[in-house]
Amino acid sequence: MTSSTKVFFLKVIIHLGALLPLANLYFLAFGDGLGADPVEVVIHFTGIGALNLLLITLSISPLAKIFKQGYLLQTRRVLGLYAYTYALFHVLNFLSFEVQFDGALFISEVIERPYITVGMVAFLLLTALAITSISKLKRKMGKSWQRLHNFNYLIALLVTVHFYWSVKSELTSPLFYLAIVLLLLLFRVKKIKRLLLSLFT
Ligand code: HEM
């Protein structure tokens, strides 16, 4: 099988794997199929979905290197855009079901609840990455595109903090995610050192 055929099949799997669960979630939500607290289920599902997709996106480059499968890199853009789509639904769920599109209430939530503040910063950064993933913009931005997209690592950390802070008792899942983020950062130690050095010199 050629690399482009492999990429084609992988992209079909990614589209189906990302879109079908999302469609099923809202089908169940609007058909009263999500139990006593559908809002909580919808916010949880889209939040965890966004984080999972973000971490899968960040794993592609180390996996491609370890298994010498360079074509895998061609799936990063679509995976990243689905991470953003899930994050967008997560925030829209919060805006519509938790604060009923009340702008003032939303702003006070962002200011008063630190976990929402952190989530908002992560969401704004993700929005910048999603917009600049458009090919024309990527070409125009040149080297600064890579610099901006290095924020992916910071976003993963911020989302893990947002998750950790949002849970009241059960800390196993956020700590598990933190371990994965740290492992992924470990693969980029050299790059991160270089980034930090360029910031402080
Ligand atoms: C304005 C931005 C955001 C708002 C208002 C927001 C809001 C929320 C809320 C209300 C919860 C549920 C907390 C609870 O159970 O009481 C939550 C949890 C969560 N959010 Fe966000 N979030 C934002 C951004 C993000 C982003 C950008 C991501 C991922 C890319 C994300 C991922 C998560 C995760 C993984 C959880 C934990 C899921 C759970 O166990 O319930 N959030 N967020």
pLDDT in tens, 178-187: 999 999 999 8
Domain count, the chain: 1
pLDDT in tens, 102-155: 999 999 999 999 999 999 999 999 999 999 998 888 899 988 898 888 899 999
Buried b (16+ CB within 10 A) or exposed e, 55-85: bbbbbbeeebeeeeeeebebbbebbbbbbbb
- The pLDDT assigned to 190 comes to 84
Decide whether any atom of ligand 1 lies within 6 Å of the 80 Cβ.
no
Residues of the chain above pLDDT 90, percent: 77
Query: Residue 16's domain spans which residues?
Result: 3-200
Centre of ligand 1 to C-alpha 166, Å, is 7
Decide whether any atom of ligand 1 lies within 6 Å of the 158 Cβ.
no
Centre of ligand 1 to C-alpha 190, Å, is 31
